[in-house]
Amino acid sequence: MRRRLFLPLLPLLAGLLASLPPLSPSLAQERSITVSSTTSTEQSGLFGHILPIFTAKTGIAVRVVALGTGQALDVGRRGDADVVFVHDRAAEERFVAEGYATRRYPVMYNDFVLAGPKADPAGVRAAGADIAAALKAIAERKAAFISRGDRSGTHAAELRLWRQAGIDPAATGGGWYKEIGQGMGPALNTAAAAEAYLLADRGTWISFRNRRGLAIVTEGDQRLFNQYGVMLVNPARHPHVKQAEGQAFIDWLVSQEGQAAIAGYRIDGEQLFFPNAGDPRG
């Protein structure tokens, strides 16, 4: 009996459903992008500062995959991210040349610092700002050195600096040079526990609280400059890339508002990143 009473209602329900307007794609699915980025932007706290500002303005949520720069670029090559935001200009330019992106945008910069035990057993402070001389002093004394060893932008910079100093640390023997294959935060923790030297990006260094006996021993050399760039993964290669949303994020980063948000991120009054989207040298 109940089934017979319900059947006459079906045409009425169907008519009501048909009269409702269809859900727009923006309502049916949250607007979001995936950004593959270096650990320094994540562990320094920068993303925690700027992403809520971007999302509040655009309604686009951002999921961050934080890896070393080399791995972050690999994520983009596979099409598993919409945007890549990293800090190894040579690798970024190869990414564009290989067709995985059509353009690289400079966004911001800071610098690398050489940190080590406050007692400075290798005597690198005597080298002043000369990073090559500092590394030579570490190698000569076989003082403990922690390398990220993770194909990150910081690792690439470290290897480049060793080459400029004329040293292959992995070939010297003695066990003083250790690659750990981890991000900046774990590398800093390892160096602090081992009373070792390491190269760090200044942003993560400033935000790092577990320094123990570590201090900056070398800084200020022009060779320690650290530029960041952002790229949209090429939708011609990976058609599922969210081109409109990804480009909106890039456009915001290089806009006056985005650059101001980056400049406004400080810890204890100290600025971590310096916007330079308009600088052709970036």
Residue-by-residue DSSP string for 83-102: EEEES-HHHHHHHHHTTSBS
Q: Which helix (H) or strand (E) holds 46?
A: helix 46-58
Is 196's pLDDT higher than 70?
Answer: yes
CA atoms within 13 A on the CB side of 136: 10
Nearest partner of 199 among 268, 276, 124, judged by Cα = 124
What pLDDT is attached to residue 16?
Answer: 42
H-helix segments, 115-168? 131-141, 153-164
What pLDDT is attached to residue 29?
Answer: 54
Is 6's pLDDT higher than 90?
Answer: no
Give pLDDT tens digits for 61-92.
999 999 999 999 999 999 999 999 999 999 99
Is 164's pLDDT higher than 60?
Answer: yes
Residues 6+ positions from 45 with CB-CB distance below 8 Å = 207, 265, 267, 272
